[in-house]
Chains A and B, each alone.
Chain A
Amino acid sequence: MTITKGEPAAAPGAVQTAPDATAATRPERRSHVPADGSASAAAVEQARREMLHEGPRQRIKRTRIGADALMEALMLQGADTLFSYPGGVILPIYDILGDYPEIRHVLVRHEQGGGHAADGYARASGKVGVCMGTSGPGATNLVTAIGTAQLDSVPMVALTGNVPAALIGKDAFQEIDITGITLPMTKHNYLVRDADEIPRVVAEAFYLAKTGRPGPVHVDFTKDALQQETAAEHPTLEEVIAGLPGFRPTVEGHPKQLKMAAREIEQAKRPLILAGHGVLIAEAWDELQAFAEKTQIPVAWTLLGIGAIDETHPLAYGYMGMHGWKHVNRAIQSADLLIAIGMRFDDRVTGSVRTYAPYARIIHADVDPAEIGKNVAVEVPIVGDAKRVLEGLARLAHEVDPATRQPYFEQLAEWRRESEGSSWHGSGAWRDGLLSADYVIGRIGELTSHQATMVADVGQNQMWVARYAGFRRPNSHVSSGGLGTMGFALPAAMGAALGNPEAETWAIAGDGGFQMTSQELMTLAVDRIPVKIALLDNKKLGMIRQWQEIIYAGNYHSSHLPGPDFLKLAEAYGIPAFKATTTDEVDATIRAAQAVDGPALIWFEIAEEQNVLPMMPAGKGLSDLIETWGPEE
């Protein structure tokens, strides 16, 4: 039996043999992969050929227009991938796009998918992600993705077209005030009406997107600006900076503040480091580890701080917050000093601020001064880049002998044993022989040697990934934390796979989020982007169902979510798919998906009523965790 028989037709040299384990445990009828020569496989191949403009391209001599200035500017900024969808007013760009083969154009199936793909690309690569859509609906479809990038400080440049300048404000066809819409949810935005402005504006957009606290920058071009002839030159970095006098982020922590922090660290008996996304953005993972080791301070992390330290490091303590580990939340609640680096004390992290970390003094370092003192009052504010601040703290701090922290470490170890032992089994699905999500995610982590890029969706699946995948590499975890955007995983994984092609890329999604953006399966198939999709199907909006069970007295309105036959769906897109319904099928299907040279999907039919526990009810504090629910054994 070959499980990869439905490999999209032309994949020369693809691995065609399945691991032995697969053959032994997975009945063939479960694999609805499109067969060689099947209609869907052939259709994918045809679409691929047409899209790649195979055959000679007619080049004509022409003048340099605004759209050329844009493409040049993208290349000067090092952009190599553009996630986009065409439309009327950006046709001037599509008309010249073929002249810029250096930039890979990925034709997504919905602009939201393009936006999330640019986001995933940025998070996995550390570079600026670029997406594009047309005016009106194309632009509004990008809005959710721009908002996602804004809340998670992801460097992104979103490009849109708009109607010709003379038609702006006339309610022209597909005209919407998109810069008005994106104004409060971008780091900055522009409406460009003149081709001569394009080089400067695009250079500024990239500089703003990636400098200081990163974020999305939106640039809207009128159609005529894209079409006008222009000789405008591209600015130097110095010229860009000089043109932005209101943007001067502070990178170096103030020496006085660093000294104050070092004194606090010196005196603390139960200190804890809270590592956030800022550590990853600043590429400060080595500095974090060095500081933690020198001072012998354990490290807890936020959702987006996952990967800031190898989870197997002796000082790595765990994931904090609403669905974090109980031992981590206990450590926070009894700490006498919190050293928060590049995180923002979000409500999912603190719960009730009144009862948060009641014994702790707080050192808070962030590159964005507005984050400091916003949600919790702090004793030592440090404005600066996480890398610089951690370097500074490590320089000033004295080396600590681990023996002096023995009672503290023993307490932490005891809490950890207790909490890891009690909450693994979730709702008890495991006991009933049902397939449990935490098991599936643990196995994916294991079988990818914890080196894959894991892109989570939103909801229970996201919390299971955060808790059970086991992250060892920076930027190996991608998740929509701030905005909590369902439908994020599949398109973001598409971008992550292109942003870091060295790493195996997995999208982990629930059936709800998957159905929000599943049209991007076609992009994966045609562009042959090798994303492995783990679909955790509980036929529910799992987190909604969990809240309804625990907080709304079991009033399950609209959380039951019937889905299609996902094997047939994948087959229709020409993507090999596998299904697992029992625990002993998990490894075989994961290996089978890994063996596919290209995208693949695994449909895990998991327990329908599994809860993510412990859970901190909204409005409560970190000491008020619900640890078990339902009938006791």
Chain B
Amino acid sequence: MTADPSTEPAPAAHAAPPPARDLPGSGEGQRHVLVVLVLDRPGVLNRVASLMRARNFNIDSLAVSRTDREQVSRMTITLHGDAVRVEQAAKQLYKLVDVLKVQDVGATDQVVEHELVFVKVRATDQNRAEIIKVVELYKGRVVDIAPESVIVEATGTESEIDALVALLRAYGIKELVRTGAVVMLRGAGSIEEALKWEGPAR
């Protein structure tokens, strides 16, 4: 015999069957950008990447660099997910001992966001000038010219770069590399200054 859930006596106040409980993280996903300040210690990139993989988060892009603070590096991670899911990613990242600060800046438009792209485009004497014109429209520039190709460099938001790449595709893309987004909050506020750490003991 299997118990019939409908026979479970409900509290009198709840005559109607209750709605199903939400599954955390199952909502509609949006793009989020996490800024992660980490201690520059061996394996820290491995720790972050391994955690994201193990917890089933898909990283769209990842940019890592030093900061102006000794021993502090900065990672910029873009990913998709609903707010609860991305918050869970942030909380899990916080548990890493080498992680100092995690901030989700994706939900705000109070950030400057850019990435850099290099595109090696097929070019002929006939269309080279046209390519250069297209690139200039996107505030990019040509950084290398060869008889049959040019290298285009551009910076911009993810969608700006997407649009430029889509246009360049018509000429034939031989090679492409993007750095992934980096972001910074507008105004005087600073994620680094919010760190409650004065740096390594001397």
Interface residues of A (CB under 8 A from B): 179-180, 183-184, 187-188, 191, 208, 239, 242-247, 269-270, 326, 330, 333-334, 336, 353-359, 368-370, 373-377, 411, 621, 623-628
Q: Number of residue pairs across A and B with beta carbons under 8 Å? A: 100
Q: In the complex, which residue of chain B has the Cβ closest to the Cβ of A408?
A: B11
B1 and A368 contacting across the interface, CB-CB below 8 Å: no
Instruction: Please classify the interface of chain B as helix (H, G, I), strand (E, B), loop, or mixed, using the class held by over half of its residues.
Output: loop
Residues of chain A lying within 8 A (CB to CB) of residue B18 = 358-359
Q: What's the Cα separation between A628 and B1 when bound, in Å?
A: 6
Q: In the complex, which residue of chain B has the Cβ closest to the Cβ of A247?
A: B97
B91 and A188 contacting across the interface, CB-CB below 8 Å: no
Residues of chain B lying within 8 A (CB to CB) of residue A411 = 9
Other-chain contact of B97, A187, A239, A356 (Cβ < 8 Å): A187
Q: What's the Cα separation between A179 and B41 when bound, in Å?
A: 14
A245 and B197 contacting across the interface, CB-CB below 8 Å: yes
Which of B47-55, B110-118, B181-189 lies at the interface? B47-55
Residues of chain A lying within 8 A (CB to CB) of residue B11 = 269-270, 334, 336, 359
Q: Which of A244, A245, A354, A375 gathers the greatest number of chain B CB atoms within 10 Å?
A: A245
Q: A245-B39, A623-B8, A626-B2 are in contact. Are A354 and B23 (CB under 8 A)?
A: yes
Other-chain contact of B8, A183, A244, A330 (Cβ < 8 Å): A330
Q: A244-B97, A247-B97 are in contact. Are A334 and B88 (CB under 8 A)?
A: no
B23 and A353 contacting across the interface, CB-CB below 8 Å: yes
Other-chain contact of B21, A245, A326, A353, A368 (Cβ < 8 Å): A353
B50 and A184 contacting across the interface, CB-CB below 8 Å: yes
Other-chain contact of A373, B17, B38, B50, B87 (Cβ < 8 Å): B87
**8 Å CB contacts to A: which residues of B33-77?**
38-39, 42-43, 46-47, 50-51, 54
Q: What's the Cα separation between A263 and B88 when bound, in Å?
A: 27
A188 and B20 contacting across the interface, CB-CB below 8 Å: no
Q: What's the Cα separation between A474 and B82 when bound, in Å?
A: 40
Q: How far is the CB of A610 from chain B (nearest CB, A)?
A: 19
B21 and A358 contacting across the interface, CB-CB below 8 Å: yes
What class of interface size applies to chain B in its complex with A?
35 or more
Q: What's the Cα separation between A353 and B20 when bound, in Å?
A: 8
Residues of chain B lying within 8 A (CB to CB) of residue A183 = 43, 46-47, 50
Q: What's the Cα separation between A627 and B104 when bound, in Å?
A: 47
**8 Å CB contacts to A: which residues of B72-100?**
84, 87-88, 91-92, 94-100
Residues of chain B lying within 8 A (CB to CB) of residue A368 = 95
**8 Å CB contacts to A: which residues of B1-41?**
1-5, 8-11, 14, 17-24, 38-39
Q: Does B201 contact A (CB under 8 A)?
A: yes
Q: What's the Cα separation between A366 and B149 when bound, in Å?
A: 59
16 contacts between A and B (CB under 8 A): A183-B46, A208-B97, A242-B201, A326-B3, A334-B8, A354-B20, A355-B21, A356-B21, A357-B21, A359-B14, A359-B18, A368-B95, A377-B24, A623-B4, A625-B3, A627-B2
B3 and A627 contacting across the interface, CB-CB below 8 Å: yes
Q: How far is the CB of B28 from chain A (nearest CB, A)?
A: 16
B91 and A369 contacting across the interface, CB-CB below 8 Å: yes
Q: A270-B11, A624-B3 are in contact. Are A246 and B39 (CB under 8 A)?
A: yes
B88 and A374 contacting across the interface, CB-CB below 8 Å: yes
B42 and A373 contacting across the interface, CB-CB below 8 Å: no
Residues of chain B lying within 8 A (CB to CB) of residue A326 = 3
- List the 8 closest A-B pairs by CB distance, nearest first: A358-B18, A623-B5, A370-B91, A245-B197, A354-B20, A188-B97, A246-B100, A184-B54
Q: In the complex, which residue of chain B has the Cβ closest to the Cβ of A620?
A: B2
Q: What's the Cα separation between A336 and B10 when bound, in Å?
A: 10
B46 and A180 contacting across the interface, CB-CB below 8 Å: yes
Q: What's the Cα separation between A626 and B3 when bound, in Å?
A: 7
